[in-house]
């Protein structure tokens, strides 16, 4: 899953208003941000297998450190504790930690049965929504639109960067997903890993947008004419 993780990060702003969108994105996408680094270091493996699933050509041979449920709980705890140490914002710590774990739950919906429960677990799970392109598109865009609506209702742009920066990010995310469908699969795992490093771009972008938006004190719906 790609867009869904950003949708959840955007929506989390509503409950963790003092936490920057950059941190929320870093946490929700931690598994996919860490993954290319582990692929390039040789600690995890992937194979390109066009046609494996309708909406995904990747065979996730081994990714226990970035994508097992146990390790995401460990990473989530580390994120929560570190965030608390830096910000002393308890609610934000729970949200940041929870977002790291949410990655596994969202991936569970789309992946084939390749997600380990813990490193080395014989049982690997996945509900396989990637077998359906329409189903994948509905869930991916549904979550992104939901998150964008919640974020826009929770914050107000202070200037043009605050609004255009957000819309540009949403458009680029949509383009990333669409290009995955229309362009040929990556030639090899190393090329794919290098291109996946591009996901890191959205972390500073999230901080940048968030600094140019103000959190609404009150729900707009509650402010009558
Ligand atoms: Zn993932």
Counting every residue written for the chain, the total comes to: 225
Class of residue 9 by CB neighbours under 10 A (exposed 0-12, middle 13-18, buried 19+): buried
Model pLDDT for residues 110-165, shown as the tens digit of each residue: 999 999 999 999 999 999 999 999 999 999 999 999 999 999 999 999 999 999 99
The Å distance, Cα 209 to ligand 1 centre, comes to 24
The Å distance, Cα 219 to ligand 1 centre, comes to 32
For helices 189-196 and 30-41, what crossing angle results, to 10°? 140
The Å distance, Cα 40 to ligand 1 centre, comes to 16
Report the pLDDT value the prediction gives residue 219, as an integer from 0 to 100.
53
CA-based end-to-end distance of the chain: 40
Average pLDDT in the 30-59 region? 95
CA separation for the pair 55, 97 (Å, rounded) = 29
Report the pLDDT value the prediction gives residue 181, as an integer from 0 to 100.
87
Percentage of the chain lying above the pLDDT 70 cut: 96
pLDDT-based confidence at residue 221 (cuts at 50, 70, 90): low
Q: What is the b/e burial string over 169-206, where b = at least 16 CB atoms within 10 angstroms of the residue's CB? A: bbeebbebbeeeeeeeebeebeebbeebeebbebbebb
**Cβ atoms of 26 and 203 closer than 8 Å:** yes
CA separation for the pair 46, 48 (Å, rounded) = 7
Average pLDDT in the 190-199 region? 95
The environment of the single-atom ion ligand 1, i.e. residues with CB closer than 5 A, is: 31-32, 107
The Å distance, Cα 164 to ligand 1 centre, comes to 27
CA separation for the pair 170, 75 (Å, rounded) = 26
The Å distance, Cα 149 to ligand 1 centre, comes to 23
Residue 119, CA atoms < 13 Å, CB-side half-sphere: 10
CA separation for the pair 79, 81 (Å, rounded) = 6
CA separation for the pair 164, 76 (Å, rounded) = 31
Report the pLDDT value the prediction gives residue 216, as an integer from 0 to 100.
81
The Å distance, Cα 159 to ligand 1 centre, comes to 33
The Å distance, Cα 106 to ligand 1 centre, comes to 8
Distances 187 to 47, 153, 174, 197 between C-alpha atoms, Å:
10, 41, 22, 16
């Amino acid at each position: 899953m790609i867009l869904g993780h950003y949708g959840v990060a955007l929506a989390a702003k509503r409950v963790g208003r003092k936490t920057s969108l950059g941190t929320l994105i870093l946490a929700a996408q931690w598994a996919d941000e860490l993954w290319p680094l582990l692929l390039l270091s040789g600690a995890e493996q992937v194979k390109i297998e066009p046609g494996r699933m309708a909406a995904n050509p990747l065979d996730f041979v081994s990714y226990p450190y970035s994508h097992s449920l146990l390790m995401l709980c460990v990473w989530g705890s580390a994120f929560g504790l570190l965030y608390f140490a830096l910000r002393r914002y308890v609610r934000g710590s729970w949200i940041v930690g929870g977002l790291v774990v949410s990655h596994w739950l969202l991936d569970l919906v789309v992946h084939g049965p390749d997600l380990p429960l813990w490193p080395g677990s014989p049982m690997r799970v996945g509900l396989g929504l990637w077998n359906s392109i329409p189903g994948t598109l509905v869930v991916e865009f549904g979550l992104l639109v939901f998150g964008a609506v919640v974020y826009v209702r929770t914050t107000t742009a202070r200037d043009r960067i605050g609004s255009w920066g957000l819309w540009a990010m949403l458009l680029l995310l949509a383009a990333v997903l669409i290009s995955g469908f229309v362009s040929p699969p990556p030639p090899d795992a190393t090329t794919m890993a290098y291109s996946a490093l591009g996901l890191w771009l959205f972390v500073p972008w999230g901080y940048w947008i968030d600094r140019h938006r103000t959190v609404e004190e009150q729900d707009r719906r509650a402010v009558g004419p």
